[in-house]
């Protein structure tokens, strides 16, 4: 059996995902474009959603967990009066409601009281969360609905504006990892005495990475692994200290809460350390000296 060629391209790509593609589709296209098999992404986007998708290449896949945990910004439309089984415009209508034209001032009041800050949210059946080893969206396709426990999420901001359609508002949402925008739209409809679903979902940023630097699938730009850790505290160690890193030894914590990107004196990324025990940090990813 032939051994798989080790990856030669290392880094990540900020993609502006087009509509009509799954996140897996995007990965497959990039494997062909970049000639690399070892590619993964830092969080899915719905097939009809567009916008920022972070994709790790080669050793960059080992850093994806640090990207998936970052805050994200979205825009969408919230359509009142109808609910769908997918909570967005791609699903089948499951309920209709007689609702008066939406008062955006009232919406802002409800949003500020119920949907900003630390809130509890029930994951939608169309999510990728697993129950008894099976993803919720797989159960939903089989017509099975299961009880889901509410989970704590954080919404930094939830701004709404009126549109030309009195039953549709536009929204821009900045939220923590694990927040479902489609659930925010549906829950807002319920809070206003009816129902709603979302449409035209677009992700504008993941952490410090925005649409302004995103590339297309036709012409993907591979950025360095160092750039992947933008915003992470960086520490430079001596060659003697690097030996301890390569052996996975703990180190006294630096300032801040971590994680910490560790570089050698030549500017090469060697490892990422995370808090371990009181006063100590331990490497969770080690790349080794080049």
Alpha-carbon distance of 67 to 229, in angstroms, equals 8
Alpha-helical runs (H) found in 69-177: 104-114, 136-141
Residues 182 and 201 sit within 8 Å (Cβ to Cβ): yes
- Same domain as 77, residue 57: no
- The CATH number of residue 89's host domain is 3.30.2350.10
| Residue 2 maps to a domain | no
pLDDT digits (tens, 9 = 90+) for 45-65: 888 899 999 999 999 999 999
Position 143 pLDDT exceeds 90: no
pLDDT digits (tens, 9 = 90+) for 74-112: 999 999 999 998 899 988 999 999 999 999 999 999 999
- Same domain as 169, residue 266: no
pLDDT of residue 142: 57
Tokens found for residue 203: 């992700």
Residues 188 and 196 sit within 8 Å (Cβ to Cβ): yes
Alpha carbon 59 to chain centroid, angstroms: 20
- Same domain as 263, residue 175: no
- Same domain as 86, residue 186: yes
pLDDT of residue 1: 45
Residue 136 — pLDDT band, cuts 50, 70, 90? Answer: low
Length of the chain measured in residues: 290
- Same domain as 194, residue 87: yes
- Same domain as 257, residue 168: no
- Same domain as 64, residue 147: no
| Helices then strands, each counted (H, E), the chain | 7, 18
Domain with 173, as residue range(s), is: 72-204
Q: State whether the Cα torsion 90-93-95-101 is positive or negative.
A: positive
- Same domain as 190, residue 124: yes
Catalytic residue positions, numbered: 46
Q: How many domains does the chain have?
A: 3
* Residue 217 CA: distances (Å) to CA of 14, 18, 46, 52: 10, 9, 17, 12
- Same domain as 158, residue 104: yes
pLDDT digits (tens, 9 = 90+) for 163-219: 999 999 999 999 999 899 999 999 999 999 999 999 999 999 999 999 999 999 999
Q: pTM here? A: 0.90
Residue 2 — pLDDT band, cuts 50, 70, 90? Answer: very low
Residues in CB range of 60: below 8 A, 6 or more apart: 10, 11, 12, 225, 228
Position 160 pLDDT exceeds 70: yes
| Residue 6 maps to a domain | no
| Residue 124 maps to a domain | yes
- Same domain as 278, residue 179: no
| Residue 5 maps to a domain | no
């Amino acid at each position: 059996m032939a051994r798989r060629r080790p990856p030669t391209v290392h880094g990540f790509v900020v993609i502006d995902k087009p509509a009509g593609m799954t996140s897996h589709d995007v990965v497959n296209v990039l494997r062909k474009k970049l000639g690399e098999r070892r590619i993964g992404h830092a969080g899915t986007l719905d097939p009809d959603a567009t916008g920022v998708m972070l994709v790790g290449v080669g050793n960059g896949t080992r850093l994806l967990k640090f990207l998936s945990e970052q805050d994200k910004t979205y825009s969408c439309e919230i359509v009142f009066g109808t609910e769908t089984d997918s909570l967005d415009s791609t699903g089948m209508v499951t309920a209709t409601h007689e609702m008066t034209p939406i008062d955006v001032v009232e919406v802002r009041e409800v949003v500020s009281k119920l949907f900003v800050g630390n809130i509890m949210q029930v994951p939608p059946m169309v999510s990728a969360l697993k129950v008894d080893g099976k993803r919720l969206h797989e159960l939903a396709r089989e017509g099975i609905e299961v009880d889901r426990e509410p989970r704590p999420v954080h919404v930094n901001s939830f701004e709404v504006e009126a549109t030309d359609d009195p039953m549709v508002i536009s929204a821009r949402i900045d939220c923590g990892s694990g927040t479902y925008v489609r659930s925010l739209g549906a829950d807002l409809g319920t809070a206003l005495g009816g129902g709603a679903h979302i449409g035209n979902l677009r992700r504008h940023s993941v952490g410090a990475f925005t649409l302004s630097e995103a590339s297309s699938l036709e012409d993907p730009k591979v950025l360095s692994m160092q750039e992947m850790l933008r915003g992470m505290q960086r520490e430079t160690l001596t060659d003697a200290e690097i030996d301890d890193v390569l052996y996975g030894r703990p180190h006294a914590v630096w300032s801040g809460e971590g994680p910490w990107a560790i570089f050698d004196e030549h500017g090469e990324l060697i490892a990422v350390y995370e808090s371990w025990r009181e006063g100590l940090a331990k490497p969770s990813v080690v790349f080794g000296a080049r």
